[in-house]
Structure 1
């Protein structure tokens, strides 16, 4: 296949339109289940343990990072590693947030009995309300899409975007509910521009005591330059 400008533009536009529609359709899923999920997460006394595999795992990692940086302690556990020891990271005070488009991902299904034994709430994001994971969950959020942007209907595209947006909706709702501020955000982002602007104090960069270059009134310029250079 040759690369033609018009064809590339048309394909790119088609992907954006399909995924935009998937996000628009997601508004119908901001419902009572969404409220229930927010309350479970808000009332969590421990941390939010996000899990998934494949593309859902990558989306889950981003959701965990967004939650953690906006006032809701969270971390990601790969579902495949969970049944090989990482399940020990989950405590009785946590909430599990599992992502699987099919709702039948074997690595997640395998740990459901263990999650039940721990007695922790499970929030599931799937594209299949009738799936094993959806039926097992304490709260199910439907992130199903009408079609993938992938012309083969195979690569997770629209479905991954829908899951990501639902995760953002949860995180931002919790941010508002907690009264999370710009200053709070800065404390979790000390290396960023906002963090430096809000947290950096004069005392953090100001020289004091013997670190201040000092010379006498009769010091020659060359010696003053050496003193300034040595203590810059």
Structure 2
């Protein structure tokens, strides 16, 4: 390694170089960025993102971010575009071209063809004087002073800059489209993220038993009910209302205090004013309530009626953590 730098030294310098390049992008934003966002927002078409080499790789991620945040987008490789993929472009589509130099042969061939179709072109380039920079309808400056690569050759800082600009465009469009967490859930139904956004308490309680005792229930029967329903707890119900809760912990504390089990009833050891949650609440909200109150079970109500129990294990099984 040059200059006997350690691996950590090199890694730190790479991160610092790229972070400095990204920070400088904020100084390069101009009215064309605003015009780009407004034009995409008002258009009736999709966003076509294209590039060559490493810029093409970044383009695919930008497309993924657009699609997941409510802006329909497709990727078109600049090389494939001039060999048939131009057919992807429809009348009202907006084309974003990524190129550090702005002078690659594929871009020079592609750009006039797109313009002939009447589509607007947005350039994300580090060279405003390039072919792309001077022929695009909107130009977003992605200039970086140097690559993180010590030879200033491998696309590193420049591709990171392109990616950040893509994220900035996506977030601005998200805001203009009033894209909410509910909208986000529609596009992310899979994985733990999707479950956090759409899974509700009522989706969990159907899998569980409904442990119930009453204030006058003997402790022996309380123990049987908790063991039988296998949730580590039971609700204490009176006149169809929740008046208390008994957990495994309450039973252990009772035994530790050497109380006369034969004479005890549920109301003697139950916790009063237990935490409850609505059957329509998000599962993630149930987890937040448990964590906030340091509990592992929570009773569920439907219009003040006791309808079930959610255990921490239910949430862990669903990936809500």
Higher strand residue share = 2
Correspondence for 1:44 = 43
- CA 1:134/1:204 → structure 2, altered by over 3 Å: closer, same or farther? farther
Correspondence for 1:161 = 160
- CA 1:197/1:128 → structure 2, altered by over 3 Å: closer, same or farther? same
Cα shift at 1:51: 0.3
CA distance in 1, matches of 2:6, 2:40: 45
Cα shift at 1:195: 2.0
Q: Which has the higher contact order (CA 8 A, sep 6+)?
A: 1
Q: C-alpha deviations, 1:137-160, integer Å up to 9, x for none? A: 000011010111000010001101
Correspondence for 1:92 = 91
Correspondence for 2:109 = 110
Q: Which has the larger radius of gyration?
A: 2
CA distance in 2, matches of 1:166, 1:132: 20
How many residues align? The count is 206
Where do residues 1-232 of structure 1 align in structure 2 (5 Å cutoff)? Answer: 1=1, 7-200=6-199
What's the Cα RMSD here?
A: 2.0
SS in 2 for 1:111: helix
- CA 1:205/1:149 → structure 2, altered by over 3 Å: closer, same or farther? same
SS in 2 for 1:45: coil
TM-score by length of 1: 0.83
Correspondence for 1:214 = none
Q: C-alpha deviations, 1:55-90, integer Å up to 9, x for none? A: 100011101110111010001010110011110010
Cα shift at 1:105: 1.5
* Unpaired runs of at least 5, structure 1: 208-232
- CA 1:147/1:205 → structure 2, altered by over 3 Å: closer, same or farther? same
SS in 2 for 1:125: strand
* Unpaired runs of at least 5, structure 2: 208-321
CA distance in 2, matches of 1:191, 1:20: 32
- Structure 1 ranges of 4+ moved more than 6 A: 203-207
CA distance in 1, matches of 2:69, 2:45: 15
Cα shift at 1:111: 1.2
Higher helix residue share = 1
- CA 1:10/1:117 → structure 2, altered by over 3 Å: closer, same or farther? same
